[in-house]
Chains A and B, each alone.
Chain A
Amino acid sequence: MNLDTTPGRAAPAAVSPAAAAVLAVEGLTKTFTMHHLGRLLPGFDNVSLTLAEGEFLLLTGENGAGKSTLLRTIYRSYLPDAGTATFHMTDGRTIDLARAADVDIVQLRKGELGFVTQFLNARPRVSAEELVAEPLILAGRSAGEAREEAQRMLGAFGLKSALWAAYPSTFSGGEQQKVNLARALVRPPRLLLLDEPTASLDRTARAALVARLEAMKAAGVAMIGVFHHPEDVARLVDRELKLLRHRDTREAGEEAAA
Chain B
Amino acid sequence: MRATPLPLARNAPQLVTAAPLLAMTGVAKRYGDVAALTAVDVAVHEGEVLGIVGESGSGKSTLLRMMNLEEIPDAGRYTLDIAAHRGANLFGLDRYERRMLRVREIGIVYQNPHDGLRMRHSSSGNVAERLVITGERRFGELRRRAKDALIASDFPIKRMDRPPAELSGGMQQRVQLAKAIALEPTLLLLDEPTTGLDVSVQALVLDTLKRLQRERRITMVLVSHDLGVIRTMADRVMVMRRGAVVEEGLADQVFQDPQHPYTQQLVHAKL
Q: Which residues of A contact B (CB under 8 A)?
A: 29, 31-36, 40, 42, 45, 72, 76-82, 93, 95-96, 98-108, 123-126, 134
Contact B15 A81 (CB under 8 A): no
- Tell me which residues across on chain B come within 8 A of A108, comparing CB atoms: 15
- Tell me which residues across on chain B come within 8 A of A134, comparing CB atoms: 214
Q: Mark B1-25, 1 if CB is under 8 A from A, else 0.
A: 1101111111111111000000000
Pick out which of these stretches binds chain A: B82-90, B108-116, B247-255: B247-255
When chains A and B are docked, how far (Å) is the Cα of A92 from the Cα of B77? 37
User: Which chain B residue lies CB-closest to A79?
Assistant: B7
- Tell me which residues across on chain A come within 8 A of B6, comparing CB atoms: 81
Q: Which residues of B contact A (CB under 8 A)?
A: 1-2, 4-16, 45, 48, 203-204, 206-207, 210-211, 214, 232, 235-236, 248-250, 252-253, 256-257, 259-261, 264-265, 268
- Tell me which residues across on chain B come within 8 A of A72, comparing CB atoms: 256-257
24 A-B pairs with CB atoms under 8 Å apart are A36-B265, A40-B5, A72-B256, A77-B250, A77-B256, A77-B257, A78-B256, A79-B249, A79-B257, A80-B8, A81-B8, A82-B8, A98-B8, A99-B8, A99-B11, A100-B15, A102-B253, A103-B15, A104-B16, A106-B236, A107-B15, A123-B232, A125-B204, A125-B207
When the two chains form the complex, which single residue of A34, A96, A98, A102 contacts B250, counting CB atoms closer than 8 Å?
A102
Contact A77 B252 (CB under 8 A): yes
- Tell me which residues across on chain B come within 8 A of A29, comparing CB atoms: 5
- Tell me which residues across on chain B come within 8 A of A33, comparing CB atoms: 4-5, 259
Interface residue SS majority, chain A: mixed
User: What 6 A-B pairs come out closest when comparing CB atoms?
Assistant: A35-B261, A79-B7, A81-B5, A101-B13, A31-B5, A78-B257
When chains A and B are docked, how far (Å) is the Cα of A32 from the Cα of B261? 12
When the two chains form the complex, which single residue of A36, A80, A103, A123 contacts B268, counting CB atoms closer than 8 Å?
A36
Contact B257 A32 (CB under 8 A): yes
Contact B264 A35 (CB under 8 A): yes
Contact A124 B14 (CB under 8 A): no
